[in-house]
Amino acid sequence: MKVMRLKILLLAWGLGFLALFGLLAFVAIFISNEEDSTGSDGLIGDGGSISVSADVLKHQPMVEKYAKEYGISEYVSTLLAIIQVESGGKLSDVMQSSESLGLPPNSLDTEASIQQGTKYFADLVRSAEASGVDGNAVTQAYNYGGAFIDYVAKRGKQYSFELAQSFAKERSGGSKVTYTNPIAVKKNGGWRYLYGNMFYVDLVSQYFTSPQFDDEIVQIVMDEALKYEGFPYVFGGDNPSTSFDCSGLTQWSYRKAGINLPRTAQQQYDVTEHISLSEAKPGDLVFFHSTYNSGTYVTHVGIYVGNNRMYNAGDPIGYADLTTAYWQKHLIGAGRIKQ
């Protein structure tokens, strides 16, 4: 879910977590998590690299099996990150999903835990899609329960830490508990409300890492663009204060690397060297037609990141799979910026 990447400043805590569970090292893996919605306004899955322990990684085949069964293959890395948070891959009930069945904690064996945890997460994804709620709310709801989806839906449909905090406050009656996790220390001075874990999105997100590119300019562009993953699409938006539309995001991100693009998708198409998608490299732009009635041929643009994937201002901002029927129907091709 969006969102959801390694917080560099918290890496030391992550290593400490490993030591607590007796883990010797993290294993960096790449899992292709691609959008499987039919349009640019669907719930976007997470993407990029994820650092999890070897004990968690060994559960990947079973996670993939049940993610496929329940139709959420694009969330495999999120599920693995949840395992890292819940058990470090060490306990039998690796996803701590017994309670979602009304059972006492640690009642399930490993496969039953993964099956139930994945099914529960899939149910939350469906609920979020129906309510128009973003992916981070789904991740928090894995800890809080499905009522959090409705809570966010009634308050702007976009997850925020403030919403997670207010939900916990209401459910706990304002009761607090000391909590020494560095995330809690950083955000709340070392306490949280006595209901669930209002830092759950941060705990899961810290295991995600930004994709790395060989080209320095592309890395600068993506480092900037990824700051806004999970932000809503805003027509006419061209800066972090307003959020972004598609060409506003590309213009803003490339400007950080010293490249000035014109404002609209059509104008950006006009100033690039037109190439086929098969020739595209990370950092090229990808263009689409007829995604809405704008009076121009080119109506949408994204940043190509390799492996038939792009990063774009959908709703919310995030990754998308260019091989899906929707994008193939509207694809024009790629464009290389002339320098």
Per-residue pLDDT at 44? 29
Per-residue pLDDT at 49? 65
Q: Which CATH number fits domain 213-337: 1.10.10.10, 3.30.10.20, 3.90.1720.10, 1.10.3720.10?
A: 3.90.1720.10
312 is catalytic: yes
Question: What distances in angstroms separate CA 223 from CA 210, 215, 303, 339, one per listed residue?
Answer: 7, 12, 12, 20
- The pTM score is 0.59
Q: What type of residue is 127?
A: S
Class for the domain spanning 8-205: mainly alpha
End-to-end CA distance of the chain: 35
Cis geometry, peptide bond prior to residue 232 (ω within 30 degrees of 0): no
Model confidence pLDDT, tens digit, residues 106-144:
999 999 999 999 999 999 999 999 999 988 999 999 999
Residue 208 has which token pair?
């995600």
Q: What DSSP character marks residue 26?
A: E
Phi/psi-derived region of residue 173, left when phi > 0, alpha when psi is between -120 and 50, beta in every other case: left
Alpha helix locations (H) across 178-320?
A: 182-188, 200-205, 216-225, 246-255, 265-270
Please identify which of the residues 300, 307, 308, 330 carries the catalytic annotation: 300
Per-residue pLDDT at 33? 36
Please identify which of the residues 143, 246, 307, 308 carries the catalytic annotation: 246
Per-residue pLDDT at 294? 87
- Residue 289 forms beta bridges with which residues? 298
Phi, psi of 313 (to 5 degrees): -85, 75
Q: Where are the domains of the chain?
A: 8-205, 213-337
59 is catalytic: no
User: Which residues in the chain land under pLDDT 70?
Assistant: 1-49
